[in-house]
A = this chain, B = another copy of it.
Amino acid sequence: MAVVRAMAAAYFAFRRASERHIRTLGLTAAQFDVIATLGNTDGMTCKELARRTLVTKGTLTGVLDRLERRRLIARQAEKRDRRSIHVRLTRRGEALHSRAFAAHMNYLRPYLRRAVADLDSARLSRALGRFAQAFNEARAGSPGDGQITRRQAR
């Protein structure tokens, strides 16, 4: 399927340019992932945050420590379940989120405009929305799980 191959090529090109730019914003990819996930929400528990990002439970503590040290996020005890911790962006964090997200959009826009000039943009937006949703729904237990295992690949 040619579309899949094109999508993969577009993805790698996009990823490289995007991560290069994120670094110039003073954030690592994991940090941007966390900040982007917390943006425009009231915050969430570490568990939820780990589920929604690429960052695993053990790593998350360190990432949050660094973001907290920079006063970009705040941890609060969860009242209902005292094992849990509620993580949210601080004002400073929200400001960075807005700036970084806007800057990132500005960075990406010219590339995108060049590519999608002849596509129906409303349709494309809807398609991209479904695309993101499909990935976000299917956390554990993915559809079509490659055919080779870790052992074979090594």
> How extensive is the interface on chain A, given as a class?
35 or more
A99-B153, A124-B119, A145-B107 known; A129 and B54 CB under 8 Å?
Answer: no
Query: Which residues of A82-125 have CB atoms within 8 Å of chain B's CB atoms?
Result: 96, 99-112, 114-116, 118-121, 123-125
Which of A11-19, A41-49, A57-65 contacts its partner?
A11-19
Pick the contact of A153 from B26, B134, B149 — CB < 8 Å? B26
Cβ contacts under 8 Å, A124 to chain B? 3, 6, 119
Cβ contacts under 8 Å, A110 to chain B? 134, 143-144
A130–B117 Cα distance when bound, in Å, is: 10
Cβ contacts under 8 Å, A15 to chain B? 11, 15, 54
Closest to A20 in B: B54
Q: How far is the CB of A152 from chain B (nearest CB, A)?
A: 8
A112–B130 Cα distance when bound, in Å, is: 9
Mark A8-44 against chain B: 1 for CB-CB distance below 8 A, else 0: 1111111111111100111100000100100000000
Q: How far is the CB of A19 from chain B (nearest CB, A)?
A: 6
Q: Is the CB of B13 within 8 A of A142?
A: no
A17–B134 Cα distance when bound, in Å, is: 10
- State the A residues within 8 Å of B (CB): 1-21, 24-27, 33, 36, 53-54, 70, 96, 99-112, 114-116, 118-121, 123-136, 138, 142-151, 153-154
